[in-house]
Amino acid sequence: MAKVLLAGESWVSATIDHKGYDPFPHTQVQIGCARLLDVLREGGHEVTHMRSHDVAEFFPLTREELDEYDVVLLSDVGANTLLLPPQVFDHGRPTPNRLHLLRDWVRDGGGLMMAGGYLSFQGFGAKANYAGTAVEQILPVDIHRWDDRVESPQGVTGTLTGVEHPVVAGLERSWPILLGYQQLVAKEDATVLAEVDGDPLLAVRSVGEGRTLAFASDVSPHWAPTEFMDWAGYGLLFSQAMSWLAGETEKED
């Protein structure tokens, strides 16, 4: 069982409904990872979900806080949110660089996964902005410095590369459709476990004493449609990913 910190995968929607002469503003917090949280917990993992709007303030700032977890999963939360805690943005005070903290923590034995999305890797309009950072240094992939999305409304299929690995054990070769992904470049020492249209979809890497994993598509809509999220392999894939990242299975990469 892994202790997992899932940071991101939520958003606040602000809407104004116009009813004749009268506008009606309202806001709502949306949680994109409800299904993922369920399957990870069903797999025996202990998962803490830190919503995107809480990450800047509450994501670990010290090694001691990070050491409470085996795995950190970053999903759809950009580099700025990690780099600009209130101490810096509001008060102009120095704080530890959390991207450096994650890099060093992984090298000493931690596990890091990044899942795709509009604010993952480089992201929509390059706003996620992980290219050139300490997090990119440890990921299994290199990140373009431009908008890296490949929108695929027609549906594209992930396919295993045939490499045997604990993360993909028991999964069928061809996966249900996805509606988009990030175009990434596998590092030379990475192991690509699945591809989509010739690009890496799932890649892993050993970094010092730790491990990293990149999943180039989303864990929730819109890129992850019902076909993918209702697939029996959805829970198996991500539960096995957490176990491997936590060091509970052999590296084999």
- pLDDT for the residue 185: 98
What percent of the chain lies above the pLDDT cut of 70? 98
Q: What does the pLDDT read at residue 60?
A: 98
Please state, rounded to an integer, the average pLDDT across all residues of the chain: 96
Q: If DSSP codes are grouped into helix, strand and coil, which group holds residue 140?
A: coil
Mean pLDDT across the stretch 162-175?
98
CA–CA distance, 183 with 34 (Å, rounded to integer): 25
Pairing relationship of beta strands 22-31 and 10-19 according to DSSP bridges: antiparallel
Q: What pLDDT, in 10s, does the model give residues 217-242?
A: 999 999 999 999 999 999 999 999 99
CA atoms within 13 A on the CB side of 146: 1
What average pLDDT does the segment 69-78 reach?
Answer: 98
pLDDT in tens, 10-51: 999 999 999 999 999 999 999 999 999 999 999 999 999 999
Alpha helix segments (H runs only) across the chain: 34-42, 52-58, 63-66, 79-83, 86-89, 98-107, 134-138, 226-229, 232-245
Question: Which among 198, 196, 186, 199 is positioned nearest to 253, based on CA atoms?
Answer: 186
pLDDT value of residue 250: 65
Instruction: With cut-offs at 50, 70 and 90, classify the pLDDT of residue 248.
Output: confident
Backbone angles phi, psi at 81, to 5 degrees: -65, -35
- Residue 249 confidence (pLDDT): 75
Length of the chain: 253
Is a pLDDT exceeding 90 seen at residue 251?
no
Percent of the chain with pLDDT over 90: 97
Question: How confident is the model at residue 253, as a pLDDT?
Answer: 47
Question: In this model, does residue 214 exceed pLDDT 90?
Answer: yes
Q: How far apart are CA 116 and CA 219, in angstroms?
A: 8
What pTM did the predictor assign? 0.95
Helix (H, G, I), strand (E, B) or coil at 167: helix
Residue 76 has pLDDT above 50, yes or no: yes
